[in-house]
Amino acid sequence: MNFTKTITIAYGDGFGPHVMESALTVLREAGANLTIEAIEIGSRIYSMGSKTGILPLAWKVLEKNRVLLKAPVLVPEGCRETGEVIREYFGLDSTNINEHFALFEPVFPEICWQQKPATLDPSPMLQSAIAMLTHIGQQEIADKIAVALAKTLEENLHLKERKRLSRMTNAVIEML
């Protein structure tokens, strides 16, 4: 039985919103049963004087939903990374999952911060979304997306640099 699960998402900043939107589009098209609550983390929050990049109100949303799909965040010098702060707050170990909370975030190479968002490969964000779906009990949808992503990568449909993000997102959707 596929039930609707409420999750929290954080679009991040820099290229983060672009890869998050790609993942959310694929999740929607694959039929994931999700209710989404977004929180803002990152640059704008740091610029308000926060050393953690997260507002107090966001903690209430995270505590309520207990699942976070997080896009990359730019961290100013002298501030703490918001995944680090979230991991500490919820007592997460290296797996980012415990009985109280689950954090899903992609790892992108540093070079991505210099790239134009349209040229990015959304695979790491999609893989994080797949892991999240597995965690919340939507294995069938997770498998469907994983197979579509693998087929897309096998067919090298992501190699066209100019509009890689949109082409790859559309190709994965077509493979579904």
Amino acid at 89: Y
Tokens in use for 85? 């702060």
Q: What pLDDT is recorded for position 58?
A: 96
Amino acid at 129: A
pTM higher than 0.95, yes or no? no
Contacts of 126 (CB under 8 A, 6+ apart): 22, 23, 26, 145, 149, 172
Tokens in use for 128? 């994080």
The full set of domains in the chain, from first to last, is 5-175 (3.40.718.10)
Q: What pLDDT is recorded for position 110?
A: 83
Task: Report the chain's mean pLDDT, rounded to a whole number.
Answer: 92
pLDDT band, very low/low/confident/very high, at 158 (cuts 50, 70, 90):
low
Q: How far is Cα 176 from Cα 167, in angstroms, rounded to an integer?
A: 14
* pLDDT top residue among 160 and 147: 147
User: Nearest CA to 169 among 132, 125, 135?
Assistant: 125
Average pLDDT over residues 75-82: 90
- What is the side-by-side strand order in the sheet with 67-70? 34-39, 5-10, 67-70, 102-104
The residue count for the chain:
176
Q: What pLDDT is recorded for position 111?
A: 82
> Using one digit for the tens of pLDDT, what is the confidence trace for 28-56?
999 999 999 999 999 999 999 999 999 99
Q: What pLDDT is recorded for position 114?
A: 85
